[in-house]
Structure formats: structure tokens, C-alpha cells
């Protein structure tokens, strides 16, 4: 562990380039990678140097600007055609988190609505990418505050279980699920966090615990199959997770294992919260059945680190996300307040 950060910002824009925390190297090494082209940004998203739904949206926004600034034309139509080609490369990186597509759409809208020269459009695109990042950080603070309103009132100090990493690393900063947990900690309502390790990529073990250690938030690491036992023992007062895409009916896609956690929570009467910005809600999709689920490389399943854990001759299946049905979700915590899933639709016009 080489850093002691109090504020974690996975994506920073400085000196005409994006600087990313390399999340594939945490917690062993804190290093930043400089990104100067859209191809590098697309590769960083695909290989999960940057990951987490809001963070990949922000990364894609900067990626689109990096591509736009290299387009050499003074013809608006030619510019937009080439910009769309760059957008396609960025869209093809990861399919499940809607924030990626949302951020690209926001950027393209800015481009088409900006009058003047191509240079004016390029300037507007950088401003928009910066705004998407800054707004996301503010949104996370608001989610944290909204979460405080719906967390159980007793006991005074809660133990909260989370899955994967929906923290500062997965957003502009502060986090969604971990934002609620941070706000609980800052207001004296948190006893400790239980972090699921989150096989196969171990975002909980590697990233969530790292963030907690940075801020001295008490954290207990468990393997994914321990959650039911912990709930049975009365150790967990609430579950708070993030989301990659929420549909109009309140179904929520999140890291694989979230669905089983929600079932276990329901069985034990433990409230189950999904914390996400409204940019994660895809009102175009009616239910979670329509969400594209990313499948990743088999190596993630048959290896732990670089060590193979099973014999040759085995087949593999590696869906990276699952969908938790709305009926298992106690409330969805957004920057505009927490609602039961069926009330999410009230935000569809303004989102």
C-alpha cells in the first residue's frame, strides 16, 4: 500500500490528458495512468483500469473529447460523422452499465447543439466532460444524504453489508453505495462495513476494503458465501449496493452475486437498498429482462490471480452482472431522494 489518500478521485483531467487510477493494481500499488487518446481510453474501460458505472461514463466522456480534438476538419458534417465513429468505439467497451451510453449521448448532444466553429465544439465538449465528472461527485454526496434518511433507525450504529465496489473508485468520487456508508460514518451512524469479496474479480476485497482503510472506516472482509450466515447471526442491519442499470419498473442490474444477496436479505428481513444516480436509470427499458449482461473471459473464473484453480476439461460461464427484481429492493436511493422501486417513474421526465 503506497498511499494514504483521504479523497479518492479515479479520473482527473490535467495538462490536456486524463489521469486514471489503475484499479487493476490496487491494493498493492497506487498508480495513475495518463490517457491521451480515445483508443487508450476505450482500452482502459475494457480492461477495467477504470470501472464502475458512473466512472466509465465519465471516462467515456473524456475519451470522446480526446478523439474529437484530433479530428482535422472545418466541416461540421464531416466532424459529426467522425465523432460518431469514435462514440461507437467507446460504446463497444462494456454493455451493461447504462451510464456509459448516457454520458456519450450527453456529449453528442452538446456537440450538435453548440453553434460556431469546430474549435468551439471541441471547447464545449471538454467543458461538458468536466461538468459530467463534477456533477457526479455532487450527485454522490446527495445520494449519501438521501441514504441517511432511509437507513434503519435502530440500532444507533449500523453494520452495513455491501457488494463489489460502488465507492469513490467507481464514480467521480465519494461513491453511491459507499457514499451512503461514508455519510453514515461521518454522521456517527456506522459501526462497521462488511465487504463481500466479490468473486471473480474481487472488487470488494481489493477496492472497497482499500477505500475503507484510506478513511479508517472499520471494515470486515467476508467471502461471498458467508452473507447468509452473517445475517442469520444478526450481524447485518442493512445491505447497500450500487447499480449498473435500473429499468423503469425498478429492477436493478449490478455485479454478479447481488441477486443472491437480495434473496438472502429478504429471507432474513434485512433491508436491501440500491444506491444509484438517476443517470443509471434506463427508462427506455421496461424490465430487467431487457438489460444486456456482459460475459467476461473465462480466465476470471478458473484463475485466482495467476493461479489456475481447477483441472483441464472444465467448461466455464462468467456473467459479470445479474438483475435483482424490484420486489426484493426496499428502496432505490437517488440524488433526488429514496423511493420504493414502483415510484421510480416519477423521475423519468427530469432525468
Nearer to ligand MRU, 118 or 164 (CB): 164
Please state the closest distance from residue 243 (CB atom) to ligand MRU, in A.
6
Range list of H helices, 196-251: 203, 209-214, 227-232
Residue 324: CB atoms within 10 A of its CB come to: 26
Do the Cβ atoms of 98 and 293 come closer than 8 Å?
Answer: no
Nearer to ligand MRU, 118 or 256 (CB): 256
Nearest to 90 by CA among 129, 134, 32: 129
Please state the closest distance from residue 113 (CB atom) to ligand MRU, in A.
28
The residue annotated as part of the active site, out of 136, 244, 251, 322, is 244
Q: Return d(Cα 88, Cα 94) in angstroms, integer.
A: 11
Residue where the block lists cell 435502530: 154
C-alpha cell read off for 154 = 435502530
C-alpha cell read off for 147 = 441514504
Helices 118-150 and 177-186 cross at an angle (nearest 10°) of: 60
Please state the closest distance from residue 143 (CB atom) to ligand MRU, in A.
9
Please state the closest distance from residue 320 (CB atom) to ligand MRU, in A.
5
Please state the closest distance from residue 4 (CB atom) to ligand MRU, in A.
23
Nearer to ligand MRU, 33 or 126 (CB): 33
- Residue 67 belongs to what H/E stretch? helix 53-69
Residue 22: CB atoms within 10 A of its CB come to: 17
Q: Footprint of ligand MRU on this chain (CB under 6 A)?
A: 51-54, 97, 164, 166, 170-171, 176, 203, 242-244, 254-255, 320
Nearer to ligand MRU, 58 or 235 (CB): 58
Is 244 catalytic? The answer is: yes
Nearer to ligand MRU, 107 or 164 (CB): 164
- Residue 221 belongs to what H/E stretch? strand 219-222
Within 8 A by CB and 6+ apart from 335, the residues are 138, 139, 140, 142, 143, 146, 277, 278
The tally of CA atoms less than 13 A away on the side-chain side of residue 263 is 7
| Residue whose beta carbon is closest to ligand MRU | 242
Please identify every residue annotated as catalytic: 244
Amino acid at each position: 500500500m503506497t498511499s494514504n489518500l483521504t479523497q479518492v478521485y479515479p479520473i482527473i483531467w490535467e495538462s490536456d490528458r486524463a489521469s486514471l487510477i489503475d484499479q487493476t493494481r490496487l491494493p498493492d500499488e497506487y498508480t495513475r495512468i495518463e490517457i491521451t487518446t480515445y483508443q487508450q481510453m476505450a482500452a482502459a474501460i475494457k480492461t477495467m483500469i477504470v470501472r464502475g458505472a458512473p466512472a466509465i461514463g465519465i471516462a467515456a466522456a473524456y475519451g470522446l473529447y480526446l478523439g474529437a480534438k484530433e479530428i482535422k476538419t472545418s466541416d461540421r458534417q464531416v466532424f459529426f460523422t467522425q465523432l460518431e465513429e469514435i462514440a461507437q468505439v467507446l460504446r463497444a467497451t462494456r454493455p451493461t452499465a447504462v451510464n456509459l451510453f448516457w454520458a456519450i449521448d450527453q456529449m453528442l448532444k452538446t456537440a450538435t447543439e453548440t453553434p460556431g466553429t469546430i474549435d468551439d465544439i471541441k471547447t464545449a465538449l471538454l467543458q461538458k466532460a468536466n461538468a459530467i465528472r463534477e456533477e457526479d461527485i455532487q450527485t454522490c454526496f446527495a445520494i449519501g444524504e438521501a441514504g441517511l434518511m432511509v437507513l434503519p433507525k435502530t440500532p444507533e450504529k449500523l453494520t452495513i453489508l455491501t457488494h463489489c465496489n460502488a465507492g469513490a473508485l467507481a464514480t467521480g468520487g465519494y461513491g453511491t453505495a459507499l457514499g451512503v456508508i461514508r455519510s453514515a460514518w461521518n454522521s456517527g451512524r456506522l459501526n462497521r462495513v462488511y465487504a463481500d469479496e466479490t468473486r471473480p474479480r474481487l472488487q470488494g476485497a481489493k477496492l472497497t476494503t482499500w477505500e475503507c482503510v484510506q478513511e479508517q472506516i472499520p471494515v470486515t472482509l467476508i467471502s461471498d458465501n458467508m452473507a447468509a450466515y452473517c445475517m442469520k447471526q444478526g450481524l447485518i442491519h442493512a445491505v447497500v449496493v450500487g447499480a449498473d442499470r435500473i429499468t423503469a419498473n425498478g429492477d436493478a442490474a449490478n455485479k454478479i452475486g447481488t441477486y443472491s444477496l437480495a434473496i438472502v436479505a429478504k429471507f432474513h428481513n434485512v433491508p436491501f437498498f440500491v444506491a444509484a444516480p438517476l443517470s443509471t436509470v434506463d427508462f427506455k427499458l421496461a424490465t430487467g429482462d431487457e438489460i444486456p449482461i456482459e460475459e467476461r473471459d473465462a480466465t476470471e473464473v478458473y484463475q485466482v490471480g495467476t493461479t489456475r484453480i481447477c483441472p483441464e476439461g472444465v467448461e466455464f460461464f462468467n456473467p459479470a452482472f445479474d438483475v435483482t427484481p424490484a420486489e426484493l429492493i426496499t428502496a432505490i436511493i437517488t440524488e433526488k431522494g429514496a423511493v420504493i422501486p414502483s415510484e421510480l417513474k416519477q423521475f423519468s421526465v427530469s432525468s
